[in-house]
Every structure is written in structure tokens, then in C-alpha cells.
């Protein structure tokens, strides 16, 4: 039986809510300026990752568990679900301290596959379960970037010409810093779900961005929505969407979120 957001949804929101948005921006900027100097994987809790995989893998109903490898030769868990069409695929990135079949991400990876898109939901770096300060996750961003890169490479090697990066909450911050530090990223589009604050620069990447947040999202996401909307004015073919009645995890509204994402991607990457 799939674990749902309703049962453990607070694990992500509680950690993210505990830090001022400005602090997240400052730390992310400092990390970007440092050119991701922290050794990849150095701050990841490997034992916890192993436990998360042991929890998730036996419960997978749709898709296959696989192991990917980063450029630093670090193995990490992922779930691949094939879609009907072979041109566009999604790399799906979860929030803080969970696994790639958890909650919103677990449902979204299946809903997107039902809509015809292959999905590769990847395990992101985690800190110990006792971590209460989300700033500790900044040290894992280099590892996160390597995983995002490895995921795209894995899809490309299997013939997918275009990959969309869809990331939620802390995963969205990891993705943002990845784009800052990856000139000419191979990703064709970025779907940002519930980022807690503004969108930082995506560096030299000129790609469509879909920014989605819930009407009842975390305060840090709702209060900075206007800044994200302004930023997207300068990004071609980008869109800013507020989901009525949705919370940070889009509980009960996952299908509506999937429909918005599918419409955005189809219009920009698969024009008729």
C-alpha cells in the first residue's frame, strides 16, 4: 500500500517552515558562488538512504527500482516508470528527508506515467532524521546536482530526447542551485512545485519554467509568489499557477496538479 502525504506530510513542511526564506536564499546564493565546492556525497546520511530504500522498494506497485551512479561513483536509488511516448520524460525530485515514492512525488510519478510520460523518480540526499535545521541540507546540494545530472544522462542513454525536471519543496531549492551552477543544462523545462521563497537565477539556462504553488501552501511560498511571477516574465514560455484549495503537498489534488504539468509540457515541448 502506498504511503500517502496525509500520514506523514508534516516531515517536510515542519523542517522547511522553521527557517526564514531570506536565510534559504542567502545560503543558496553562497553555495552557488562557491561553485559547489563541497565534496559530493560528503554530507549525505548513507545509512538513512539505505533504510529509506528498504522501506520503499518492497511497496512499489507501479515502476521498477533501479540503481543509478553519479560521476563521483556514488550509487543512489531511483524508480523508473515507462510511458507510452518515447520523446519526453520526467525526472522527479522529492522534498526533504523522504524517498522517491513518498507522498506527492510517489503519486505524481505514477500520474505522469498514466498521462504517457516516462518518469524517473530519484532519491535525493538526506540528513539524519534528527536534523531540524534545513540549512544543514545546503551541504548536500553538490551531491543533489550530481544526481540530477546522472538522471538526465540515464534517460538520454535510453533514447529520451527531452527531459523535464519536476521538483518539490527542498528538491526545488536543490534544482535551482543545480541550474545556477550548470551552464546550458540539458533539461528542456523545469517544473517548480511549492518552492519556499523566490526563484533564484537559473544562470545561463534559457528554459520554460512552470511555478506551481497551493492556495494554502506554506507561508514562505505564498508570500513570495509575486516575486516568482515577476521573475518568470523574463523567462520564455514560462507560467505561474496557483492551485485553488491546495496545500504544500497538494493532498487530494494530485491529479489536478498532474493535469496542469501535462498541459504545460505538451504545449511547449510537443506542439501540434
Residue 187's pLDDT is what?
Answer: 98
Pairing of strands 75-81, 118-122: antiparallel
Cβ neighbours for 144, distance < 8 A, ≥ 6 positions apart? 124, 125, 171, 174, 175, 177, 178
**Distant-in-sequence, close-in-space partners of 1: CB < 8 Å, separation ≥ 6:** 59
Question: How many Cα atoms within 13 Å fall on the side-chain side of residue 196?
Answer: 28
User: Residue 229, class by beta-carbon neighbours within 10 Å (0-12 exposed, 13-18 middle, 19+ buried)?
Assistant: middle
| Contacts (Cβ under 8 Å, ≥6 apart) of 47 | none
Global confidence as pTM: 0.87
The per-residue pLDDT for 272 is: 63
> Beta strand 75-81 with 88-93: parallel, antiparallel or unpaired?
unpaired
Structural domains of the chain sorted by starting position, each given as residue range(s) with its CATH number in brackets:
5-269 (3.40.50.1820)
What per-residue confidence (pLDDT) applies to 156? Answer: 97
- Confidence (pLDDT) at 15: 44
Q: CA–CA separation, 218 vs 104, rounded Å?
A: 15
pLDDT, tens digit only, all 272 positions of the chain: 333 333 344 444 444 444 444 545 554 554 544 444 455 555 789 999 999 999 999 999 999 999 999 998 899 999 999 999 889 999 999 999 999 999 999 999 999 999 999 999 999 999 998 887 878 889 899 999 999 999 999 999 999 999 999 999 999 999 999 999 999 999 999 999 999 999 988 988 999 999 999 999 999 999 999 999 999 999 989 999 999 999 999 999 999 999 999 999 999 997 76
Q: What is the pLDDT of residue 43?
A: 78
Amino acid at each position: 500500500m502506498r504511503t500517502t502525504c496525509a500520514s506523514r506530510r508534516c516531515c517536510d513542511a515542519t523542517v522547511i517552515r522553521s527557517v526564514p526564506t531570506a536565510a534559504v536564499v542567502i545560503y543558496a546564493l553562497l553555495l552557488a558562488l562557491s561553485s559547489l565546492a563541497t565534496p559530493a556525497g560528503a554530507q549525505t546520511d548513507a545509512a538513512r538512504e539505505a533504510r529509506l530504500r528498504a522501506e520503499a522498494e518492497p511497496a512499489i506497485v507501479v515502476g521498477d527500482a533501479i540503481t543509478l551512479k553519479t560521476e563521483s561513483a556514488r550509487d543512489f536509488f531511483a524508480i523508473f516508470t515507462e510511458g507510452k511516448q518515447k520523446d519526453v520524460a520526467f525526472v522527479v525530485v522529492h522534498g526533504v528527508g523522504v524517498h522517491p515514492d513518498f507522498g506527492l512525488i510517489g503519486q505524481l510519478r505514477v500520474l505522469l506515467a498514466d498521462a504517457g510520460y516516462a518518469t524517473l523518480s530519484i532519491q535525493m540526499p538526506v540528513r539524519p532524521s534528527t536534523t531540524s535545521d534545513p540549512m544543514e541540507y545546503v551541504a548536500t546540494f553538490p551531491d543533489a546536482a550530481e544526481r540530477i545530472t546522472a538522471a538526465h544522462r540515464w534517460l538520454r542513454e535510453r533514447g529520451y530526447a527531452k527531459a523535464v525536471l519536476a521538483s518539490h519543496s527542498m528538491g526545488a531549492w536543490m534544482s535551482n542551485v543545480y541550474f545556477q551552477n550548470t551552464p546550458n543544462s540539458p533539461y528542456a523545462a523545469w517544473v517548480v512545485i511549492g518552492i519556499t521563497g523566490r526563484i533564484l537565477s537559473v544562470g545561463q539556462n534559457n528554459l520554460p519554467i512552470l511555478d506551481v504553488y497551493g492556495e494554502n501552501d506554506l507561508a514562505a511560498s505564498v508570500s513570495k509568489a509575486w516575486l516568482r511571477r515577476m521573475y518568470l516574465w523574463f523567462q520564455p514560455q514560462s507560467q505561474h499557477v496557483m492551485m485553488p484549495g491546495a496545500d504544500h503537498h497538494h493532498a487530494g489534488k494530485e491529479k489536478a496538479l498532474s493535469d496542469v504539468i501535462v498541459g504545460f509540457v505538451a504545449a511547449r515541448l510537443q506542439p501540434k
